[in-house]
Structure 1
Amino acid sequence: MEPSTATIEPIVKHKAPKLFLILFFLIQATVLTVLTVPFTWELFWVAFVSYFVRMFGITGAYHRYFSHSSFKTSRVFQFVLAWIGSMAMQKGVLWWAAHHRNHHKYSDTDKDIHSPSKKGFWYSHMLWFLRNEYNDYEAKLIPDFYKYPELRWLDRNHWVAPLSYSIFLYAVGGWAWLVYGYAVATFLLGHATWTINSLSHVYGSVRYDSRDTSKNNFFLAILTLGEGWHNNHHYYCSSVNQGFYWYEVDITYYILRVLSWFGIVWDLKKPPVKVLEEGRRRDLAKKMGMEAIKPNLPKKNTTKSVALT
């Protein structure tokens, strides 16, 4: 069912509460808090699992599902995905997806909200989303998910999930679990995620002519569960897998494949054969020191459901 025009606001005010900003800057100081807790392998795994689960919340939920609708799921699991993504403390799900869709629309132009070539490393890496001018978003950019009241509530109250998660960690493991499972893991998770905005537009290889500076980077793909295949993604952004070939590690996609076996998610979108063949031709031409022949393919893939260009 399509949302009525009455339910779609032109501009959604999304001012971050002071609690969010305070927690954000406190987490950036984890190099100090971690010194209060002796290292143990138990705490290492607490941090690892916390990092892994919430990274999937960003890559599989915020990015591939809510920003690009690259697969389908139930309304219940949709909210679960939004909650896990919110636990990563990267603001609300609708805010995140709306701004990301704009990023694809204006990638590496003056209107791009976080282009390192236009605005520098630190601005594209993290400073952009702390600016008041990006607190709001256009609801019309995300009508497919804005119509759900539970998502609008979570989007407005995006601090509830990370606060609940931090309370859970403290209740289970005390101060040590809170430091490693939340502070340390969130610090690493945040900077790893933001490398896709900054480093993956600077370092790596180019396979496709995506008309921007997006690049494929194996190291960033490992760090972000598959998001490092950024040139692939910018060329055909509605694909659920960003590693287009078997040798391009994409852990987020592997998780979604497993979930599809149990019917939790379905209709996983894949890149068409012509895109894969073009990639192989370009890889071969590059290996042979030749310029690949450009096929008659669109600049970027678009889908009606995600309003991408």
Structure 2
Amino acid sequence: MLIVLFVAVLWYGGLFFQSFFLHRYAAHQVFTMSKTMERITFVLTWIFQGPSYLSAYGYGVMHRMHHAYTDTENDPHSPSHDANLFAMMWRTKTIYQDINTQKIEVDQRFTKNVPQWKGFDLFASSRFSRLLWIAGYVLFFALFATAWWQWLLLPMTFLMAPIHGMIINWFGHIYGYVNFKMKNTSKNLFRFDFLMMGEGYHNNHHKHASSANFGVKWYEIDITYLIIKVLDAFGFIRLKRI
């Protein structure tokens, strides 16, 4: 079914660029890339995230704050300090926007070398851009939906990036198993992370934040890391050797 395929492409495409570009590159800089490749990846992130596009700068800074303040009152997103997942996501949205618009002062350690393309972000994050994507998605569904239940998937396409964040930042601190006992609630959601392309190994990541590979056990296959290895082999990026 074309609609299901479309949603799957948006899910895994948007998730990949969130994990590859926003998380592992912008926030943790586990690999390097040329300025040209960086700009290409900005555009690809916008294409696959569509109406839920996230700025590399806002995401990168906020995620560094999450690692520094995990499960404390200063954590931008924590089940330990928010009544429910909707309250957490709303607070996350507010902090993310305040970082992007410079309404709050941010410690320099959180902003150092975080990639930023102000002109493009201004467009990609604009109401015009988001509404254009939404209109395109609605038109696609109108042309190709063949059953009423397929329309239930439409709202998810508008909020794909926040949904990805919610799964990790809420459920990844409540459910799952632990490889490393730490002073936070991070957990691994799946033994084989088929759903979140490696992002679900959240406990492993909090233990080894500078590692490009979020998997630790033999069965913890990090799909995003495998793609990173291929991109490194072909010279598109340069993986840092740890």
Instruction: Decide: shared fold, TM above 0.5.
Output: yes
Question: Structure 1 CA distance, aligned partners of 2:235 and 2:137?
Answer: 30
- 8 Å Cα contact 2:53-2:161 kept in structure 1: no
- Residue 229, structure 1, aligned to residue 201, structure 2: yes
After superposition, the C-alpha distances for 1:253-302 in whole angstroms (9 at most, x for unaligned) are 121112112111112455xxxxxxxxxxxxxxxxxxxxxxxxxxxxxxxx
2:20 alignment partner AA: G
Question: How many pairs were matched up?
Answer: 225
Instruction: Select 1:199's aligned residue among 171, 174, 179.
Output: 171
Question: Structure 2 CA distance, aligned partners of 1:112 and 1:259?
Answer: 33
Structure-to-structure mapping, 1:138-217, within 5 angstroms: 138=106, 140=108, 141-146=110-115, 151-159=117-125, 162=130, 165=133, 173=140, 175-176=142-143, 183-188=155-160, 190-217=162-189
RMSD over aligned CA atoms reads 2.9
1:235 alignment partner AA: K
Question: Structure 2 CA distance, aligned partners of 1:185 and 1:220?
Answer: 25
- 8 Å Cα contact 1:226-1:243 kept in structure 2: yes
TM-score w.r.t. the length of structure 2 is 0.79
- Residue 122, structure 1, aligned to residue 122, structure 2: no
Question: Structure 2 CA distance, aligned partners of 1:262 and 1:180?
Answer: 40
Describe the shift of the 1:188–1:239 C-alpha distance in structure 2 as closer, same or farther (beyond 3 A).
same
- 8 Å Cα contact 2:26-2:56 kept in structure 1: yes
Question: Structure 2 CA distance, aligned partners of 1:104 and 1:269?
Answer: 22
* Residue identity (%): 27
- 8 Å Cα contact 1:86-1:92 kept in structure 2: no
Instruction: Select 2:54's aligned residue among 68, 78, 91.
Output: 91
Alignment partner, residue 43 of structure 1: 3
Question: Structure 1 CA distance, aligned partners of 2:36 and 2:190?
Answer: 34
Describe the shift of the 1:61–1:103 C-alpha distance in structure 2 as closer, same or farther (beyond 3 A).
same
Alignment partner, residue 98 of structure 2: 136
Q: How much does 1:197 deviate?
A: 0.6
TM-score w.r.t. the length of structure 1 is 0.63
Describe the shift of the 1:242–1:186 C-alpha distance in structure 2 as closer, same or farther (beyond 3 A).
farther
Alignment partner, residue 261 of structure 1: 233
- Residue 218, structure 1, aligned to residue 190, structure 2: yes
1:209 alignment partner AA: K
Structure 2 unaligned spans of 5+? 100-105, 146-150
Structure 1 unaligned spans of 5+? 1-40, 271-309
Describe the shift of the 1:168–1:269 C-alpha distance in structure 2 as closer, same or farther (beyond 3 A).
farther
Describe the shift of the 1:249–1:113 C-alpha distance in structure 2 as closer, same or farther (beyond 3 A).
same
- 8 Å Cα contact 2:61-2:114 kept in structure 1: no
Q: How much does 1:162 deviate?
A: 4.9
- 8 Å Cα contact 1:59-1:252 kept in structure 2: yes
